[in-house]
Structure 1
Amino acid sequence: MSILKPFNKSSRELKKYYRLVEQINQKEAEYVELSDEELQAKTAEFKEQLQNGKTIHDIAVDAFATVREASKRILGLRHYDVQLLGGLVLLEGNIAEMNTGEGKTLVASLPSYLVALEGKGVHVITVNDYLARRDKQLIGQIHEFLGLTVGLNVPGISTFIKQEAYQSDITYGVGTEFGFDYLRDNTVQHINQKVQRPYHFAIVDEVDSVLIDEAKTPLIIAGKDKPSDRLYKVCSSVVKGLKKDDDFTYDIELKVVNFTDEGINKCEKTFGLDNLFDLEHSSLFHALLQALRARVLYERDVDYIVEDGEIKLVDMNTGRIMEGRSLSDGLHQAIEAKEGLVNTEENKTHASITVQNYYRMYPTLSGMTGTAKSDKEELLKIYGMDVVKIPTNKPNKRKDLPDLVFMTLEQKYKRLVKEVKERHKRGQPILIGTTSILKSEEVAHALDEENLSYQLLNAKSVEQEANLIALAGQKGQITIATNMAGRGTDIMIGEGVEELGGLHVIGTERNESKRIDNQLKGRSARQGDPGSTQFIISLDDYLFIRYAQDELERMKPKFKSNQDGLITSENVHKFVDTAQKISEGVHFQFRDYNLKLEDAVNEQRKVAYQLRDNILESENILQFIKKQIEELPNHIIEAFCTDDMLPEEWDLEQLEKELANILLSPPTLQDEEFNNIDELKAFVKPSVEEHFEIIQQYEDKEKVQMSAKGVSLFVIDTLWKRHLERLNQLKEGIGIRQYQQEDPIQLFQKEGYKLFEATFNDIEYELAYRLKGLIQGIIDKENEAKEK
């Protein structure tokens, strides 16, 4: 059986894959004849071939034929040719764009098996726990039948179970959890507490959602810290007196607030400072900026509620209270101060990484989605992945009707209800997509007034959501859902629905990205089913108010409409597209800007984590610390005795104190005379050598080595946390300084590097200081014991 080969650009891209699919098909008859044992023996045979120098691409045809046959026997599912195509695209580290309902879950079974044969692990990444468990239980059966181990990585499992999951040949899990494990692995106190092994190959399901939509917010591990109550209260009252436009600006498009020059001057006057941008005032500037954000960006009963004297955050996508969640880096405390509440403990960043930089650590990254073409450039630029469109197994019968654009919200809902009533009367199932829970409740209210019964999906539980979405194709069913609800679950149409035109999808607003509109449309007409889609929208919608306000004011008077408020002017569709393009551009710039800032941090993170790993893995930590700090006494001398000073100007008394902080047998300098810095270094050298000789005597004492390791990790972790906080504050200052015509990225890289150098100098000094204290304490105890 061969697949259709339409002549278009996509088929040219797919040409080399088609040839391989035909070869896999030619093998099918041979594999059908194999017994279960013979089929299972293929795994050992492939592993041997790889050990003898063959590559995964050399054995791809046989490996895919093996998985297809195993799937038929274990699950009763035979991979379609288009699924084999998708699997081959993934194997090369690209994105297979496949329509909803084309069986992406089964596609992943092919490359994950083949790459797992290399013995280095494969991560199959989904958007939530439910899908990870479901896919592991279903597809995992194929791999286990073929002799591979399959693990599951979800939040809340023990270190031991996590380690087992990561040691498995194939590990299913949630994207954010893999990222958090990476951060946690870099805060452990012992090497055997780490759970991950080196990255090898990842397959990301709903790849656009994970790598683009979730990439706005970094992954952060935070710890508690007691904030200064007074600082947040004072800052809150200061920003209360500031005026919009005069003292601060608010960009509704970017949702960003910043002080103006005038605002900065007022703050400096209030606190009696010359320059709020000085590094020593960075904590105050940070607190003022958070107070301003709390005042302008966070609205009570929209973004948060106050309950029992506590701030509780509201999830904008689901409209639910996010129990136990708080904003980090003082923003939560700033909102508490605004509401006159007692400050709770502050979430301080201990470790963080952006989604982009986490996934770029995989040597090979691949993904699947129904919608990625519109973000093809970003995916190629940031992740090096090409998007390859896979044809559907059966011709696509979906009808996408043109948008209906109304003048007002009221007119939109009136037409929406009319449309639902007419189609419902015929029994046609309808799925209504909304942009938020707030909007889904407005739609529900409009249907209530007409006594229409519906299922409202507001993500109370993902399992329930998946079940309800699956039922959305049954006769007479009306389902209201947020656009992302139930992603990853197929909607099967019920009996008699085909004659009624299949599932009809109505979008109630254009989304901030065309890609999300396409995801909603993709809910209809799976696997050759009929179906239709239409957006019923209004000029009052959020997209236009937030991203195209000026354009809207200019165009609105020119639009003509009928008596129902439906805009009949053709150019309204161009306006809708323009607003969406502006929105996509804003979001891309935001991600791009943050990624460029983060790239500087990423290089620093690698160095700090490598140092940490060296300490964890070191057999002789005292020897390791010696290598890190042996030049420190000379650096201290150079700092005190600069080239532009005469020897008689040197502060030998202070230098002696500094050296006494890090050396067990410090030199006495005050009574000596030196003609130059080399003489001084030569004089100090015997003290440094004696210091290291004393330390060397303790190298075979396990207890001392363990204490030194613990102290070293404490030093790095403490100073790295402090460094992250300084970088965050520097980032904020950079945003404000953009008006000075400086390139913020270059400024951040330059100043961030200076901060990093200072942090590393501090790490060296602290290691030396604490090691001296540790050994001195042991010597004192030994002397006490002798005296007794």
Structure 2
Amino acid sequence: MGAFDWFWKALGAQSERNDRKSRQTVSVADDRVAELERLSDTELVAAARAITRDGEISDRSEFLAILQVAASRTLDMRPFSVQSQAVLRMLEGDVIQMATGEGKTLVGAMTATGFALTGRRVHAITVNDYLARRDAEWMRPLVEFFGLTVSAVTEKLSADERRKAYRADVVYAPVNELGFDLLRDNQVTDRAQMVRTPADVALIDEADSVLVDEALVPLVLAGSVAGEQTTGEITAAVSGLREHEHYTIDDDHRNVFLTDAGAHRLERELGIDSLYADEHIGTTLVRVNLALHAKALLIRDIHYLVEDGKVALIDASRGRVADLQRWPDGLQAAVEAKEGLTVTDGGRILDQITLQALMGRYPQLCGMTGTAVEAVDQLREFYDLRVSVIERNRPLQRIDEDDRVYARLEDKNAALVERIAEIHATGQPILVGTHDVAESEFLAEELGKRGIELNVLNAKNDEEEAGIIAEAGERGRVTVSTQMAGRGTDIRLGEGVAELGGLAVIGTSRHRTSRLDNQLRGRAGRQGDPGMSVFYLSLEDDLIETGGADTAVSAQPDGDGLLDNRKVRDFVNHCQRVTENQLLTIHSQTWKYNRLLADQRKIIDTRRDDLLDTDKAVAELRERAPERAEELADVDAQVLEQAAREIMLFHLDDEWAEHLATMDDVRESIHLRAVAKETPIDEFHRIAVREFKDLAQRAVDKSVETFRTARIDAEGVHLGDDGLARPSATWTYMVSDNPLAGGGSGALATMERFFS
């Protein structure tokens, strides 16, 4: 037995005991349904209240049976036993794995209702506005049956509408809206300005996406000040560099590095002695790296388009132009300069938080997804969450064919088009999962030559996208979609399609994690429907070149270039395991950088709460500047207290923003520490602790100075007179943890403007 085999064996045994106990509880619940159906609505609600009176569910079987009856009456949906089991496991705090089409939306609503009846406010977290709005309205009758309130927080809501929505017992909301509202609330100077009401439970739909795929994406609040941009001189100098001679790109195309020859050439052209001198490391070198990243790793028409004189980013997870998205300011400017466009002003980061840190603020987490087992390591390591696999209500009928692996990309593409045409000729609907826009356009062109009509997902909003995906099971339909498009939307088979074999799912390549492959496969075979899935690959695919960089495989292709060989398929699996391990390592390393800042952020939050909720601000300023306090003796006490609060909060927030900017600069150049035989993460922590140590005291010292000099009258403090006003405009965006740590898609940022 291996070193950790005992652990996995024990874990499996525990999971099996939990599942067995859950099934027993559900069985008792099923037996209670007939008797409970004789109760009136009022009696049923009273029974639910009676067993949740003390903040806990005293009889879980009874409670599940009540939920079954209530769902049947309000939604005309009778939960399957497996759905009740899923509810039970989520109430216990697990992430449950349920296959596509097994009814996760109802499971989520039943679970949220259960938590809410015990007095816990629930944030039901979705991946987009459309799903939040849809699920809140769809499940509203069930939640309100028990006298509870339900709402949806979406992008278009005003501050007052958000404030009202957050007071509901069950709040459906996209994860980014929850995070952005938190960041904006952390800028207020009066509690009445806040919109969020804290929740006790985060119930996460598509949990693997939120907790793993996007976990380290920071949500950023920026202010309207001009940022420093990459100069044209640097862009021109970098544009002349040649790969291999002046810079190298790592095997997985995530990083680009200057060679000594490249550094010397740039030093000559820029007229400086050394890029690595202290005066250039945090400025010139950072801009050089950004310009080099833009040149070498971001490719026009793959990572971005140029439309109407502006850079339009392509969201790789959705495979099309991303509305209102931008890279972080330095990288955005570098790409604009590279393309000879007007370089847009940047902004100052006021605050930020990663999704992982945001989720850590909830006292309890639970979630659901179709692919949790493959993410079990991350869920346990980063959130201490268990995974429970819920069996299908009906056996799986989908046929998963062996991968079709080809020697060359062109052979794969030819075979792919031929297979789609063959299946389409039978009338069987097809869903093709692509990796990027280029693949989608290639298929559209090639299939168009054969007279095959198809839907290529390029919708401008999630509602249109969901509609297209929902119709993908109609007879004769061919739908080309990127991996994540329409996630959360069920594909039902059209009339007569089951007899044709159900939905055929074809992947144009395997993904860097098997979890994403299984998400695509899971589009077919819902609720016992027939279906099939197959992936087409070539040895020139990104997965193979990245995961198999240090390995070779030898096999003889047939006349069409097909490598129909078990050894080749095993090699593909090996490549995927390599890339999966790379992703886990990246997650672990990146979280080490983020965790200390997350801890420091909690200290800032505590200080902010004290200043907002007490009279500490005016007391501290009176103590430090008694002569000024005496001068302001005629100012109303409440006005003076609020003025002091605004002064101290301004400088606390300002110092925190400066700290974030400092640590961002450190992070961008920290890899240079390895050259000096220092461990980058240890050096980052050392600098972060040193810089944070005096932050609070600096904020107090500056507050005292402002208190002494600022104009304070019956209307309050006039910080704007001294150039200390908060930004007149702010915006929010999502961006990768480190723009230099990913090729293109990893650096996407979603921006939406807010004006105050």
Kindly state the Cα deviation for residue 208 of structure 1 after the two structures are TM-superposed. 0.7
1:202 and 2:202 matched: yes
What CA distance in whole angstroms lies between the structure 2 residues aligned with 1:477 and 1:607? 55
What CA distance in whole angstroms lies between the structure 2 residues aligned with 1:597 and 1:277? 24
Alignment of 1:43-122 (within 5 A): 43-46=48-51, 49-50=53-54, 55-122=55-122
What CA distance in whole angstroms lies between the structure 1 residues aligned with 2:182 and 2:558? 58
Residue of structure 1 in register with 2:656 after alignment: 720
Q: Which amino acid aligns with 1:33?
A: R
Gap change, CA 1:148 and 1:99, over 3 Å in 2: same
Residue of structure 2 in register with 1:569 after alignment: 565
Identity of matched residues, %: 35
What CA distance in whole angstroms lies between the structure 1 residues aligned with 2:63 and 2:345? 54
**Match for 1:583 among 579, 583, 596?**
579
Gap change, CA 1:394 and 1:305, over 3 Å in 2: closer
Kindly state the Cα deviation for residue 324 of structure 1 after the two structures are TM-superposed. 4.0
Gap change, CA 1:117 and 1:449, over 3 Å in 2: same
Kindly state the Cα deviation for residue 493 of structure 1 after the two structures are TM-superposed. 1.8
What CA distance in whole angstroms lies between the structure 2 residues aligned with 1:693 and 1:487? 59
**5+ long unaligned stretches in structure 1:** 1-6, 631-662, 664-689, 782-788
Kindly state the Cα deviation for residue 281 of structure 1 after the two structures are TM-superposed. 5.5
**5+ long unaligned stretches in structure 2:** 1-11, 718-756
Q: Max radius of gyration: which structure?
A: 1
Gap change, CA 1:446 and 1:349, over 3 Å in 2: same
Alignment of 1:124-273 (within 5 A): 124-228=124-228, 232-240=231-239, 242=241, 244-245=243-244, 247-260=246-259, 270=270, 272=272
Residue of structure 2 in register with 1:647 after alignment: none
Residue of structure 2 in register with 1:671 after alignment: none
Residue of structure 2 in register with 1:614 after alignment: 610
What CA distance in whole angstroms lies between the structure 1 residues aligned with 2:304 and 2:506? 30
What CA distance in whole angstroms lies between the structure 1 residues aligned with 2:695 and 2:266? 29
**Greater per-residue helix proportion:** 1
Q: Name the SS for the 1:253 alignment partner.
A: coil
Higher relative contact order (CA 8 A, sep 6+): 2
Q: Which amino acid aligns with 1:236?
A: T
Q: Name the SS for the 1:113 alignment partner.
A: helix
Kindly state the Cα deviation for residue 180 of structure 1 after the two structures are TM-superposed. 1.1
What CA distance in whole angstroms lies between the structure 1 residues aligned with 2:139 and 2:712? 59
What CA distance in whole angstroms lies between the structure 1 residues aligned with 2:479 and 2:300? 30
What CA distance in whole angstroms lies between the structure 2 residues aligned with 1:758 and 1:289? 31
Kindly state the Cα deviation for residue 96 of structure 1 after the two structures are TM-superposed. 0.7
What CA distance in whole angstroms lies between the structure 2 residues aligned with 1:423 and 1:429? 8
**Match for 1:15 among 9, 20, 40?**
20
Gap change, CA 1:729 and 1:586, over 3 Å in 2: same
Gap change, CA 1:309 and 1:493, over 3 Å in 2: closer
Kindly state the Cα deviation for residue 60 of structure 1 after the two structures are TM-superposed. 3.0
What CA distance in whole angstroms lies between the structure 1 residues aligned with 2:280 and 2:618? 35
What CA distance in whole angstroms lies between the structure 2 residues aligned with 1:10 and 1:290? 47
**Can you list the C-alpha shifts for 1:224-255, whole angstroms capped at 9, x where unaligned?**
322356x6223324434555455544224151
What CA distance in whole angstroms lies between the structure 1 residues aligned with 2:149 and 2:660? 39
1:737 and 2:673 matched: yes
Gap change, CA 1:175 and 1:324, over 3 Å in 2: closer
Backbone CA RMSD of aligned residues: 2.7
Equivalences, count: 703
TM-score (norm 2): 0.87
1:756 and 2:692 matched: yes
Residue of structure 2 in register with 1:604 after alignment: 600
2:618, 2:641 within 8 Å by CA — same for their partners in 1?
yes
**Match for 1:41 among 28, 46, 63?**
46
1:435 and 2:371 matched: no
Gap change, CA 1:570 and 1:367, over 3 Å in 2: same
1:43, 1:147 within 8 Å by CA — same for their partners in 2?
no
Kindly state the Cα deviation for residue 600 of structure 1 after the two structures are TM-superposed. 0.9
Residue of structure 2 in register with 1:287 after alignment: 287
2:673, 2:683 within 8 Å by CA — same for their partners in 1?
no
What CA distance in whole angstroms lies between the structure 1 residues aligned with 2:629 and 2:420? 85
**Can you list the C-alpha shifts for 1:350-386, whole angstroms capped at 9, x where unaligned?**
1111111111111110110111111211111001111
Residue of structure 1 in register with 2:748 after alignment: none
Q: Name the SS for the 1:527 alignment partner.
A: helix
**Can you list the C-alpha shifts for 1:594-621, whole angstroms capped at 9, x where unaligned?**
1110001111111122222222222363
Kindly state the Cα deviation for residue 692 of structure 1 after the two structures are TM-superposed. 7.8
1:215, 1:355 within 8 Å by CA — same for their partners in 2?
yes
What CA distance in whole angstroms lies between the structure 2 residues aligned with 1:617 and 1:525? 55
Q: Which amino acid aligns with 2:398?
A: R
1:277, 1:733 within 8 Å by CA — same for their partners in 2?
no
Residue of structure 1 in register with 2:332 after alignment: 332
Alignment of 1:621-770 (within 5 A): 621-625=617-621, 691=627, 694=630, 697=633, 701-770=637-706
What CA distance in whole angstroms lies between the structure 1 residues aligned with 2:193 and 2:502? 53
Kindly state the Cα deviation for residue 310 of structure 1 after the two structures are TM-superposed. 3.0
Kindly state the Cα deviation for residue 489 of structure 1 after the two structures are TM-superposed. 1.5
Q: Which amino acid aligns with 1:592?
A: S
What CA distance in whole angstroms lies between the structure 2 residues aligned with 1:342 and 1:407? 44
Residue of structure 2 in register with 1:26 after alignment: 31
